[in-house]
Chains A and B, each alone.
Chain A
Amino acid sequence: MEISTTEQGNVSIIEIKGRVDSANAQQFGEALSSPISGGMRNLVLDLANVDYMSSAGLRELVAAYKKTNKLAGDLRLVQPSERVQEILEIAGLDTVFRIFDSRVDAVNSF
């Protein structure tokens, strides 16, 4: 799994490439929580290149969502793949997260 994080104004953009499962979920969680520890509360997670996510990954998503929302910010998602969308739907998370077709739209939504 590759992680890259950039900042655009008051938004932190995290891009993940590869798969998120129980073997690397902790690392994924750290990628989400470290901008928050650094004072960012508006997160955009670009999932366009994530071909697989298990419940371990969803748990980290939810943890980061809760943290950002407690700080009056949010975690928003960009382009989840069909596979990831499927489990978001089963978990009922597709109605909880704001999901965007592009990074630009997600960033501008803040």
Chain B
Amino acid sequence: MMLVERRFQFSAVTENVPGACDFVVDAARAAGLDDRAAHHCRLAVDEACTNVIEHGFAQASSDHIIEVVCHYDDSQFVITINDDAPYFDPTTLPDPKPLRDIDQLEPGGWGIYFIKKLMDGVQYERAYDHNILTITKLIPPRTITPSETPTIMLPMPIHVSHPHPKISLIAPNGKIDSETTKQVERILLDQLAEGRKALILFLTNVDYMNSTGMKMLVGVWQRARDAKSDLILCGVQPSVREMLHIIGLDLVFMIVPTVDDALNAVKFKK
């Protein structure tokens, strides 16, 4: 888990806020956040910096600097906004009242309300005469949904069928990597635990498998062997085939072209 950090400082005037937002969006995309999440980050930084400029600094805010720091790892994107204005904790502003009567509308407090609603965490602290606002966006595990900007996080689609009561045909959809390996492993091991004598892993919709996935398959293969069950790979894509070959696993695993070939290769008496 590498912690990446980027810093951006700017003179505290509203004209500079869009530039700070661009900086954050850039970092958010680099951290792996999608368009929608990056947009939320943009809005959060816009609102937070605007609050500092409009409320934190009484006047002559251009004499002051706001610093925005983005740091992230695999699981979260953290934005820290710090300034040297007098104490100002935006998180204590009350939530805007429900809009039953628009004349009663209290425009103050909307900014921080948006931040709270769109981001996964907001915290304020005061240290060394600085206001420090820390805003977090969680980074979801990579998804394999067909749409380009998923708004719902789904587990990897893995289709399981039984051409025969003792045979499982398992077809994962997407990349088998550090995020999804566990899901695939769970299903394979469950099938073994249910007493299936052959696991056919149909990989036509897997365009990528990394070493974590390979290791997992080796583990499953060993468990299958211990259970006197077959593990057969079929429909393997060239890129994955090449990876298997480089590691030498194509000599260990039984790999056949099609599902029919796999069904024919199953050893136990049907």
Please give the residue numbers on chain A whose beta carbons come within 8 Å of chain B beta carbons, in ascending order.
19, 21-23, 52, 54-56, 58-59, 62, 65-66, 69, 83, 86-87, 90-93, 95-96
18 more contacts with CB within 8 A, not counting A21-B18, A23-B15, are A21-B50, A22-B46, A22-B50, A23-B18, A52-B39, A54-B46, A54-B111, A55-B47, A55-B50, A56-B50, A59-B110, A65-B102, A69-B102, A83-B39, A90-B117, A90-B118, A92-B96, A92-B99
Contact code string B202-221 (vs A, CB < 8 Å = 1, else 0): 00000000000000000000
> How far, in Å, is B208 (CB) from chain A's closest CB?
30
Contact code string B104-119 (vs A, CB < 8 Å = 1, else 0): 0101001101100110
Which chain A residue lies CB-closest to B44? A54
Q: Across the interface, which residues of B come within 8 angstroms of A96, CB to CB?
A: 99, 102
Please give the residue numbers on chain B whose beta carbons come within 8 Å of chain A beta carbons, in ascending order.
14-15, 17-18, 21, 39, 42-43, 46-47, 50, 53-54, 96, 98-99, 102-103, 105, 107, 110-111, 113-114, 117-118
Bound complex: CA A23 to CA B13 (Å)? 9
Q: Does more than half of chain B's interface fall in helix, strand or loop, or is it mixed?
A: helix
Instruction: Determine if A54 and B47 form an interchain contact, defined as CB atoms under 8 angstroms apart.
Output: yes
Instruction: Determine if B17 and A91 form an interchain contact, defined as CB atoms under 8 angstroms apart.
Output: no
Q: Across the interface, which residues of B come within 8 angstroms of A66, CB to CB?
A: 102-103, 105
Bound complex: CA A32 to CA B96 (Å)? 24
Bound complex: CA A91 to CA B118 (Å)? 12
Bound complex: CA A67 to CA B18 (Å)? 29
> How far, in Å, is A17 (CB) from chain B's closest CB?
16
Contact A52 to B42, CB < 8 A, known contacts A23-B15, A91-B99: yes
Q: Across the interface, which residues of B come within 8 angstroms of A83, CB to CB?
A: 39
Which chain B residue lies CB-closest to A89? B117
Q: Across the interface, which residues of A come within 8 angstroms of B102, CB to CB?
A: 62, 65-66, 69, 96
Q: Across the interface, which residues of A come within 8 angstroms of B105, CB to CB?
A: 62, 66
> How far, in Å, is A70 (CB) from chain B's closest CB?
9
Instruction: Determine if A91 and B50 form an interchain contact, defined as CB atoms under 8 angstroms apart.
Output: no
Instruction: Determine if B99 and A54 form an interchain contact, defined as CB atoms under 8 angstroms apart.
Output: no
> How far, in Å, is A85 (CB) from chain B's closest CB?
12
Q: Across the interface, which residues of A come within 8 angstroms of B107, CB to CB?
A: 55, 58-59, 62
Instruction: Determine if A87 and B43 form an interchain contact, defined as CB atoms under 8 angstroms apart.
Output: yes
Instruction: Determine if B50 and A54 form an interchain contact, defined as CB atoms under 8 angstroms apart.
Output: yes
Which chain B residue lies CB-closest to A23? B14
Bound complex: CA A11 to CA B256 (Å)? 71
Q: Across the interface, which residues of A come within 8 angstroms of B47, CB to CB?
A: 54-55
Q: Across the interface, which residues of A come within 8 angstroms of B43, CB to CB?
A: 52, 54, 87
Q: Across the interface, which residues of A come within 8 angstroms of B98, CB to CB?
A: 92
Which chain A residue lies CB-closest to B40? A86
